[in-house]
Structures are given as C-alpha cells and as structure tokens.
C-alpha cells in the first residue's frame, strides 16, 4: 500500500492542470486537483472564452452596416451591454459544470480551496494536509499593474469582462493582444477608446507588416494611440470619472484598463520556502520534462512563463501525464506554434517573422493586400493582408502571417503545412478554393524582397 494519499496532486484547475489530471487518472493514477477559484481556469473563466464572446457581440455593429449594402433595410439598432454580460456568464457557468463533470467522470477528486506546498510531497488546503508522490503546479498567471499614485482606480481584463455598464470613454494601457482585443470590443460598441503605449508600436515580437497594418486600422476606426507615453497617476475626478495624467497630457475617462502583461501566480504557493527555483518574475523554472529543481514538483502552463498560450498548457499537461503515468516519453515541440489576436481586424501567425528569419536565412518575402469580396458591396474598407516568408535556398516556408477576417481559422490549417516543412513550390501547386481569401496563400507569385 502506498504511503501517499495520492499519486498526483495538481494545484490549479485550468487548461493544463485539467488535462494532466484527467489523463493521469485515466492511466490508473490516484489523482486530486485543487482549485481556489472556478474550475476552467483563466482561459475558460477570465480569458479566451469570455473575451471572444464579447468580440462576437461587438462585431454585429459592422455586420449591420454591411447588411445595407446587400439590400437589407436595417432600422434603429441598439446594444444592451448587461444582456451580453448575462449571456456570457450563463455560458461560463455551463462550461465550468462541464469541466467539473469531466474531472468527476475521470475519477479525479476535486478539492476546493487555496493550495500551498508544505514540503516536496505535501499540499495543504483549508487546514488539511494531503500527501502525493508528485505535485504538479498549474496555477497560471494574473494581470500585472505597476505601482503608481491612484493605481487602485485601475481595472484589468478580469474586471473588464464583468463591467456593469459600458464605459463611454476608456483608456487602455498596453499594446499587446489583450489591449488590442479589448480596444476592438469597446470601440465597436461605441466607446471612445484611447491606447497608451510605452513604446513606438503595438504587438511587440509580431511581424513588422502586421504591426504597421493593424495600427493603421485601429486609427481608421477612431482609436487614438499615444506613443512613448506612460501613466504617471490617476485621480478620481467625480463619481465614476477619473483623470489620467500621462507624461504631458491629462485625459478624463470613465475607466482606465491596464493590459501591461501578466505575472505567474506563485505568491501564495509557498514553494520558495522549500527551495523551488523561480526567476525574477516569479515563474517556476522547469526543464524539458516540466520538472522543477525539486524532483517531485512539476509545473506546466503560464506559471512557467514559457509560451503563455492555452493550447500550449494543454499539451504540456498531456505530455506530462503521458511520460509519468503512461510510460510514453513524449516531449513538446515549441517550434512553429500558431497564435491569434482577436483584434478587429483579426490577426493570426505561425512560424518566423521577417525580422527573425533574416537573422539566419536568405529569404524571399511575398505579400498580398486586398479589400475582401464582401466589402466590395458593403462599401466598408477593412483590408486583408497576407504574408509568406520563404527560405530562398531550400524553398521552405518559414512563416505565414495574416490580418483579416477568419485569419485564425485560415492560419490553423497552414500551421500544419509549416509544421510539416512545406515548400513554396508545394503551396503553389495546391489548388485554391475560389472565391475565398484563403486561396491567396497559394497564388502569391511576386517576390517583395
């Protein structure tokens, strides 16, 4: 009989933790999962899912405009923010119950409360101690707000998803994907949106043509961008009104939202006290097997601050369970991971940017820009841009980038081709589906550079 209560205790019931616990239990392990908030984690409860539901809701404003060009008579329309939030909450409740049922059906014991690591084999929850052969930490991250006068008046993406009313005027601080996605949501619903950037351009680490094009589109939609600026202080000007002081500007707004990054949620875990190594940002340092320097303690997902994407956390949870509970020594390949920004217009990418590729390869660049077929009748101008980066020597496609409708759906398929090492010749020999935007990826012939 085992001297431990469990074979595996997982702290954090988000995407990575749920996948690891379900699989490990299915392979015969005795598993418990600890969650202090809601089952489903950041993606399901506070991130990807609710955010995209709000994106869908906001897009109808442009759909109504497009409809007129196609012969529809559109009367007076209005939007009820509270109805959207209620519908979103109903869906999140449904998804949380699905996650709980999946775990229960897999034989995983659910422990609700804040988990802390007492020693290399013990987790404490609500005053109870549970022992385990292995401990997997999958607690994710949380929004980061810098310290400045008045920062108690600031909201993050967490609060933005649950606002009781739609703000008339909002400042969003940050130029990453969360900032751009919420800028699109609020702007499309009629809010005046201003973005504050500490740098010169949005979407650091994305391809330069993507960055330049989305910035132009944001401005065309009426979004004001303040570059090379930072928030010095925030003060309450009236009930529900705030004055934001930038370097040399004062702006009165209803809300100020910070989307300036996230930090690993390790503060309450107690792992530093037992010698688990973390970096200066609080991320758990792990090796290629997701193992920390303490042999029995592992970590997956955003808490490791490697590639902070939900599908990556899910796959890290999968390979952990396969390796340690199914004798299947998998490793996750972190190359050519696709990603998307659900901005308006949408962005998706896989592989190397032009800047990255030119460091190691002699490249051919192919770019196509066009107004989508739908917009030729609707009269709305929102360009699509597609870009291929090709190794001139091997003809291998190194990167695919797209800005425009359905970019994420299109790039997901191309990600398979890039993962398989497809060449530009193979792209060219592929028959396109007409008329679609996606066919442009197999018809680009003119080399930009």
Which CATH number does the domain housing residue 176 bear?
3.50.50.60
What pLDDT, on the 0 to 100 scale, is given for residue 1?
Answer: 57
Structure tokens that stand for 278 in this block: 């973390």
Range 16-29 average pLDDT: 98
Whether 360 maps to a domain, the answer reads: yes
Domain of residue 56, residue span? 6-143+263-325
Summarize pLDDT for 366-421 with one digit per residue, the tens: 999 999 998 888 888 888 999 999 999 999 999 999 999 999 999 999 999 999 99
Alpha helices in 189-335 (DSSP H): 208-220, 310-325
**Which pLDDT score, from 0 to 100, does residue 257 have?**
98
- Give the total number of structural domains in the chain: 3
Tell the residue number behind the tokens 């009165």, with chain if given: 252
Q: What is the CATH number of the domain that holds 412?
A: 3.30.390.30
Do 138 and 12 lie in one domain? The reply is yes
Mean pLDDT of 95-102: 96
Q: Examine the pLDDT at 355 and tell me if it is beyond 60.
A: yes
Whether 286 and 387 share a structural domain? no
**How much is the mean pLDDT over the chain?**
96
What is the predicted pLDDT for the residue at 438?
96
- pLDDT at res. 239: 80
Cβ atoms 437, 404 nearer than 8 A: yes
239 shares its domain with 306: no
Helix or strand run (H / E) with residue 184: helix 177-188
Residue 240 confidence (pLDDT): 83
For residue 8, report the phi and psi dihedrals to the nearest 5 degrees: -150, 130
CA 399 to chain CA centroid, nearest Å:
20
Specify whether 26 is located in the same domain as 163: no
pLDDT digits (tens, 9 = 90+) for 360-375: 999 999 999 999 998 8
Active site residues: 434
**Residue 367 shares a structural domain with residue 251:** no
* Alpha-carbon gap, residue 200 to 152, rounded angstroms: 27
Backbone angles phi, psi at 298, to 5 degrees: -125, 165
pLDDT of residue 248: 85
pLDDT: which is higher, 238 or 163: 163
Mean pLDDT on 124-130 = 96
pLDDT band at 19 (very low <50, low <70, confident <90, very high): very high
Query: Which residue is it, tokens 């422990």?
Result: 111
Examine the domain organization and report whether 46 and 35 are in the same domain.
yes
Percent of the chain with pLDDT over 70: 100
Both 133 and 247 in a single domain?
A: no
Give the per-residue pLDDT at 449. 67
Domain-embedded: residue 1: no
Task: Quote the CA–CA distance of 38 and 172 in Å, as a whole number.
Answer: 26
Average pLDDT over residues 315-330: 97
DSSP state of 121: T
Determine the average pLDDT of the residues in 200-224.
96
Q: Are residues 53 and 69 in the same domain?
A: yes
Whether residue 253 is found in the same domain as residue 270? no
As to burial, measured by CB atoms within 10 angstroms (0-12 exposed, 13-18 middle, 19+ buried), residue 302 is buried
Query: Is residue 358 in a domain?
Result: yes
Within this chain, do residues 138 and 270 fall inside the same structural domain, yes or no?
Answer: yes
pLDDT value, residue 379? 81
The reply to whether 53 falls in a domain is yes
Question: Considering the domain boundaries, does residue 332 fall inside one?
Answer: no
List, in sequence order, every residue forming a beta bridge with 399; answer none if it has no partner: 351, 389
Same domain for 250 and 164 = yes
């Amino acid at each position: 009989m085992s001297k431990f209560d469990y074979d595996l205790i997982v702290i954090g019931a988000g995407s990575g933790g749920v996948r690891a616990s379900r699989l490990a239990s299915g392979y015969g392990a005795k598993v418990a999962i600890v969650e202090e908030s809601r089952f489903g984690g950041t993606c399901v409860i506070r991130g990807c899912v609710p955010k995209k539901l709000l994106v869908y809701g906001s897009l109808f404003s442009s759909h109504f405009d497009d409809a007129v060009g196609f012969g529809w008579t559109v009367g007076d329309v209005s939007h009820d923010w509270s109805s959207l939030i209620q519908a979103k909450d109903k869906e999140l409740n449904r998804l949380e119950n699905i996650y709980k049922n999946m775990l229960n059906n897999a034989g995983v014991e659910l422990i609700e409360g804040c988990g802390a690591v007492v020693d290399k084999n013990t987790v404490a929850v609500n005053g109870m101690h549970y022992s385990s052969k292995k401990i997997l930490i999958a607690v994710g991250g949380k929004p980061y707000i810098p310290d400045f006068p008045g920062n108690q008046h600031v909201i993050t993406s967490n609060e933005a998803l649950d606002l009781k009313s739609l703000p008339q005027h909002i400042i969003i601080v940050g130029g990453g994907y969360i900032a751009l996605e919420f800028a699109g949501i609020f702007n499309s619903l009629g809010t005046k949106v201003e973005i504050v950037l500490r740098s010169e351009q949005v979407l650091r680490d994305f391809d330069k043509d993507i960055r330049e094009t989305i910035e132009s589109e944001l401005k065309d939609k009426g979004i004001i961008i303040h570059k090379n600026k930072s928030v010095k202080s925030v003060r309450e000007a009236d009930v529900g009104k705030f004055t934001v002081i930038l370097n040399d500007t004062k702006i009165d707004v209803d809300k100020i939202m910070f989307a300036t990054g996230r930090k690993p949620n390790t503060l309450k875990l107690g792992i530093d006290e037992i010698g688990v190594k973390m970096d200066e940002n609080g991320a758990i340092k792990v090796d290629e097997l997701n193992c920390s320097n303490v042999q029995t303690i592992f970590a997956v997902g955003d808490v490791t601050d490697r590639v902070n994407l939900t599908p990556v956390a899910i796959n890290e949870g999968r390979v952990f369970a396969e390796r340690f509970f199914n004798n299947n020594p998998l490793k996750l390949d972190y190359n050519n991971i696709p990603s998307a920004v659900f901005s308006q217009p949408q962005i998706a990418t896989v592989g190397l940017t032009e800047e990255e590729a030119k460091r190691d390869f002699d490249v051919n660049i192919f770019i196509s820009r066009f107004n989508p077929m739908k917009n030729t009748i609707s009269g709305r101008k929102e360009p699509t841009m597609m870009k291929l980066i090709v190794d001139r020597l091997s003809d291998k496609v190194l990167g695919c980038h797209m800005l425009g409708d359905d970019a994420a759906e299109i790039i997901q398929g191309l990600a398979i081709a890039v993962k398989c090492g497809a060449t530009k010749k193979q792209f060219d020999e592929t028959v396109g589906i007409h008329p679609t935007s996606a066919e442009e990826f197999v018809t680009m012939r003119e080399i930009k550079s």
